[in-house]
């Protein structure tokens, strides 16, 4: 007797067209970031954010000390971004399924 798992194993492939396209786009964007970052590193550019630059300019103009609502020092920012983006991905995936599942079955 065939189970749902058997059917899934037959139909699910590692690199279906959607996954393949998403990986291609992701690697293309990451390659652009890597090349840009490498160039900046070779030319001793700091790569700071323009938000920080303009906030510093504004602080200087207003003679006040600007600060974000919360400071995330060092790797804490990477951690916060990773957690936020992981759950963002889950929410997108969940809603994607609702919107596109019928179309993919066709």
Partner 1 sequence: MHIEDGILPPRAWVFWYGATILFIIPGIREIKRRVRENLSYKPFLAMVGVAVFVISAMHLPVPVTGSCSHPCGTPLAAIIIGPFATAVISAIVLFFQALFLGHGGITTIGANDFSMGIVGGISGYLCWRLLRRFNSPLWLAGGIAGFVGDVMTYLTSAFELSLSLHGHIPLVRQWMIFFAGYGPTQLPLAIAEAVFTAAVLQVMYNRRPDLLPGVTDRKRSVKIGKIEMER
Interface ranges with partner 1 (CB under 8 A):
33, 36-37, 39-40, 43, 45-51, 53-55, 57-59, 61-62, 64-72, 77, 80-81, 84-85, 88, 91-92, 95-96, 98-103, 105
Closest distance of CB 20 from partner 1, Å = 15
Question: Which of 6/25 has CB closer to partner 1?
Answer: 25
Tokens of 74: 């060092």
Q: How far is the CB of 1 from partner 1 (least distance, A)?
A: 27
Backbone phi, psi, residue 51, to 5°: -60, -45
Q: By C-beta, is 6 or 82 nearer to partner 1?
A: 82
- Segment (H or E) for 41: helix 17-42
CB of 90 to partner 1, least distance (A): 9
Long-range pairs, 51-57, Cβ under 8 A, ≥24: none
Long-range residue pairs from 12-21, CB within 8 A, at least 24 positions apart, any chain: 18/104
């Amino acid at each position: 007797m065939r189970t749902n798992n058997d059917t899934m194993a037959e139909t699910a492939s590692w690199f279906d067209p959607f996954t393949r396209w998403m990986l291609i786009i992701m690697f293309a964007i990451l390659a652009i970031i890597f090349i840009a970052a490498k160039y900046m590193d070779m030319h001793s550019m700091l790569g700071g954010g323009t938000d920080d630059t303009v906030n510093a300019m504004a602080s200087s103009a207003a003679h006040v000390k600007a600060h974000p609502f919360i400071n995330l020092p060092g790797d804490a920012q990477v951690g916060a971004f990773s957690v936020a983006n992981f759950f963002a991905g889950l929410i997108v995936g969940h809603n994607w399924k609702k919107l596109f599942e019928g179309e993919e079955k066709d």
